Chain A
Amino acid sequence: MSTWPRRWRAGVLVFALACAWGAALAQSAQGNGMDINHWLLRVHEASRYRAYTGTFVVSAGANMASARIWHVCQGDQQMERVESLSGTPRATFRRNDHVMTFFPQARIAVAETRESLGMFPGMLKSSDTSISAFYQLKRLGDDRIAGFDTEVVHVVPNDIARYGYRVWSEKRTGLVMQLQTLDLDGRVLEQSAFSELQLDAPISVAKLHQLMGNTEGYRIERPDLQRVSAEAQGWQLSRVVAGFKPMACYKRAVVPPAGASGRNDDTMQWVFSDGLATVSLFVEAYDGRRHAREGFTEIGGATHALTRRIDAWWATAVGEVPAATLMGFAMALERKL
């Protein structure tokens, strides 16, 4: 909790820094005892090849949401169904990279292709991944989650540009049962967990297929998304935040909220990742009526947003990273001449 006296916290910080330094020295001397890439690959494969159904709960800031989950795989094909139990009624289906979200009240179905979902485990297997340079893994012990024995690990960031994670993975399969995002002081920013889970559940792929394809009575919307290069759009970063690599850049029409004035201009979305955390840099034309407030917005949970005006442009950095990291991105963004 945050009720520690400041001098204690300062002492703990000095101690933690000393420990981190010592651990880094030990690690460089002996090699990594527990390889983070190997561990990530295991939890990734667990979610891929298992069939399960359960209740998934997310809590971020003061908010909480839950959903009913079905997951199944058949050969190379994976199918998932997420039925929201809180907020707007909606059902999200995923077949590999194809995602279809049904909003029964509005009778709208949104069809998308999320190519980012297909990036792993390729990236984890390749030798150029830098995850192990910016995070290390610490085993914390054992715990029980939703009736399953789990192994708890702490994914510790090596610097203050990213958050840490505490992960509970099911011992037998490696399936992630609970995940916490931790701030720089180790406090929980947000967490998600299965409150109830049935592993190796009998789920019919054909049934999920049929439900996903049943769009009768729905208007299907496809987000207008074009792959572009940031350079061709006239943007560059004067320097990058250590560990973050540009993953993709898109041009999309971000629909202004109902009732809002302003043109529906294209927005560029430049995505960066260090392997675990992701930052999106949005750039759109500046509109004095809509873009009034520069600075940070606290959203609750691990996600932060930072807005900045750059001449005739309005930049918004969004990501599950500390505010200073977003600042690093926003300040480095510049118009190419």
Chain B
Amino acid sequence: MKTDRGASDESISALVDGQLPADELAQTLDGLGAGARQTQTWYTYQVIGDVLRSAELAPRGNDLAFLAKLEQRLALEPQPTKVIAAEPVQAIAARVVTAQPASANAALWRWRGVAAVLCAALAGVIGLGQWSDAGPKRQLARLNPLVTPVVSTRIVDANAQIMIRDPALDSLLEAHQQLGGHSALQRPNGFLRNATYEGSAR
């Protein structure tokens, strides 16, 4: 195996410039993959070369803006965790229903599936586990971690909406609300809405 010294900064630089002698090529290429430092040096020389060729190729604020926009759009995408979490809750709640021991009033309960689902979900959320029968307790213990993500994704959603605030934009929003009353629903409702609601930043 080649050592780190096999890909010196000089040889990487020569490789980037296309001036590396043929007999050093194999050794340098091997050395490039040897460590993070060489990879970083390779990348840095590429960027320097790009900037020397054209300022357009340099990494700029736009890249960060793109990243910020991408993150924002991703946050708005439907979150699969909700679907994953929601389905097992129903499935397990249904199992909780069927796990009830058959009793004299079983027939009465069978058609009240919806009530049972609601009870199971409620019990899961508020952490009620004081059931005398061991069976349902085990089921609820499994239900709890599945219920929690649903609640937490909502909180994440809420934060995503509050987080992105820009004070300069707020003043424009205010101006829009003051003069944006060109709506037939403005008189009955819009004016009250704008006078009541000041947004989250102020």
Contacts and interface: CB of A to CB of B under 8 A. Distances in A.
Interface string B79-99: 000110010000000000000
A60 B179 contact: no
Contact of A3 (B65, B82, B188): B82
A290 B172 CA distance: 14
B16 interface: no
Interface of B: 61, 65, 68-69, 72, 76, 78, 82-83, 86, 157-162, 164, 166-173, 175-176, 178-189, 191-193, 195-200, 202
Contacts of A252: 175
A257 B161 contact: no
Contacts, number: 189
Given A66-B196, A117-B187, 9 more contacts: A44-B184, A44-B188, A62-B159, A92-B195, A101-B195, A271-B182, A278-B176, A293-B69, A318-B180
30 contacts: A47-B188, A58-B196, A60-B197, A61-B161, A62-B157, A62-B159, A62-B161, A67-B192, A80-B192, A82-B196, A84-B198, A101-B195, A116-B179, A116-B186, A167-B185, A192-B196, A250-B179, A254-B172, A260-B167, A269-B175, A272-B182, A273-B183, A275-B183, A276-B184, A295-B69, A296-B72, A297-B164, A305-B169, A319-B176, A319-B180
Nearest to B171: A254
B172 A58 contact: no
A273 B196 contact: no
Centre residue among A62, A82, A92 by max chain B CB count within 10 A? A62
Given A293-B68, A297-B166, A257 B178 contact: no
Contacts of B166: 293, 297
B180 to A, nearest CB: 4
Nearest to B193: A192
Interface of A: 2-3, 5, 40, 43-44, 46-48, 56-58, 60-63, 65-67, 69, 80, 82, 84, 87-88, 90, 92, 94, 101, 112, 114, 116-117, 119-120, 123-124, 131, 165, 167, 175-176, 179, 192, 223, 247-248, 250, 252, 254-258, 260, 267, 269, 271-273, 275-280, 282, 290, 292-300, 303, 305, 307, 316, 318-319
Nearest to B68: A293
Contact of B199 (A63, A69, A294): A63
Contacts of B164: 297-299
A82 B193 CA distance: 10
Contacts of B170: 257
B172 A316 contact: yes
A87 B181 CA distance: 22
B183 A248 contact: no
A56 B197 CA distance: 10
Given A278-B182, A294-B65, A316 B192 contact: no
